[in-house]
Amino acid sequence: MLINRNNLPAFSLIETIITLGICCGILLIGTLQLKKYQERLIFDNTVKEVTTAIDQASRVSTITGEGVVIIFSQSEHYLRLSGRTSNKKVDIDENMEISGLRNFHFDKHGYSSPGTVTFTGYGMEKKIKYQMLWGRVPK
């Protein structure tokens, strides 16, 4: 008994390659979107963490009555809040750049001169204007 190969239902090699190519394309699109989402998440979390640290430094200076200096190290990627009795270090992602924190400090009343902090990284940029008054950022 001979089996005729042309009468068996199956996918041809070309149909299988096309299906595999479509599946790989869909997976690639999903992977790229996941990477963009992760980068956006890191960017937003860094902005939030630095903003929270600046708010905290202002509150500490208001409560303790001491000046607090904010030091940003671009080369070592950290933010340090230094006061007479307080000291905090915040690590920053190495792909992030922050400008506008040069010579930034709070006096003993929690006040700093107005300015703008610019966050850049992962192809994104965000500017935050600040003027700290009595331990909070006016909105």
What Cα–Cα distance (Å) separates residue 3 from each residue in 7, 8, 9, 13? 8, 9, 13, 20
Confidence of residue 114 (pLDDT cuts 50, 70, 90): confident
**Arithmetic mean of pLDDT over the chain:** 85
Q: Is the pLDDT of residue 110 over 60?
A: yes
pLDDT tens digit sequence for 19-56: 999 999 999 988 888 889 999 999 999 999 998 888 88
Closest CA to 80 of 53, 113, 58, 108: 53
| Burial class of residue 105 in the structure, from the number of CB atoms within 10 Å of its CB (0-12 exposed, 13-18 middle, 19+ buried) | middle
pTM over 0.95: no
Task: Classify domain 12-128 at the CATH superfamily level.
Answer: minor pseudopilin epsh domain (3.55.40.10)
Q: Under a CB-based contact definition with an 8 Å cutoff, are residues 131 and 110 in contact? A: no
135 vs 14, which has greater pLDDT? 14
Q: 62-83: per-residue pLDDT in tens?
A: 888 888 898 888 889 999 988 8
What distance in Å separates the CA atoms of residue 95 and residue 84, rounded to the nearest whole number?
31
For the chain, the structural domain boundaries read 12-128
User: In whole angstroms, what is the distance from residue 81 CA to residue 21 CA?
Assistant: 53
Share of the chain above pLDDT 70, in %: 87
Q: Residue 129 — φ and ψ, nearest 5°? A: -85, 140
Q: Which of 121, 120, 122, 102 is nearest to 112 (CA)?
A: 102
